Structure 1
Amino acid sequence: MVQYSNAGLDASFAALSDATRRGVLEQLGRAEASITDLAEKFNMTLTGMKKHVGVLERAGLVSTEKVGRVRTCKIGPRRLEEEMAWLERYRQLWDARFDELDRVVEELKRKEQVDGRKKRE
């Protein structure tokens, strides 16, 4: 069985749980941006954006570099492989459950059709 680091998963999913942070990742997927640019884009204070970027940075999803007075953000080094493996495990589990539910529904439909024919006879 695959073992997952709870701290890494917790940090990633906590970072991704916020719509603003997901938006920041989308924005940085297109191009690097300063924290000031991101704050303007998301109509929020510089302090608020710094907090969001900090959460993303601690999760390894964003990296920042300060040159002079400008802190530039870019997509971080993490590729979310561990998170994808965790999600895939549960996707497979739910797929199997839905497949079984489909089989049960089909069996009930067949029984209903047979019972309907017997009543008419």
Structure 2
Amino acid sequence: MNAEIPHPSPRERFYRRERQSVPAARAFTRQALVDWGVRERAYDIVLCVSELATNALVHGVPPGRGFLLRLSYDDGVRVEVHDSGDGVPNAREPGEGEGGRGLLLVSELADKWGVGERDPGKIVWCEFADR
């Protein structure tokens, strides 16, 4: 990745628990990547945002709540999705029932991913290093 702006300020946006939040999160991410001059792996980053946002809405956001998407650039792109849901998400292997493959996809596309604590809830994150 080749950012035109070295170490720009993080960007974040809160999304409500509604259907249009996932496409809005993708658009927000695409714009941040354009503004930062990040072209390499942009498709993978936006796809991971889509998967993490969908997981937050389906599994981590109780009715009446939402999730926070935080993007930062510092020697690569870091994506964080903060939600207030319980539990620790994990990547499922194929054949373990319907759905649940979003984190498997994230684990294949991102250089690193994980889950952090938040009160209440959790932060699911992934990183894409400069290459």
The structure in which a higher percent of residues are strand is 2
The structure in which a higher percent of residues are helix is 1
Taking structure 1 as the reference length, what is the TM-score of the superposition? 0.31
Q: Over alpha carbons, which structure has the higher Rg?
A: 1
Taking structure 2 as the reference length, what is the TM-score of the superposition? 0.30
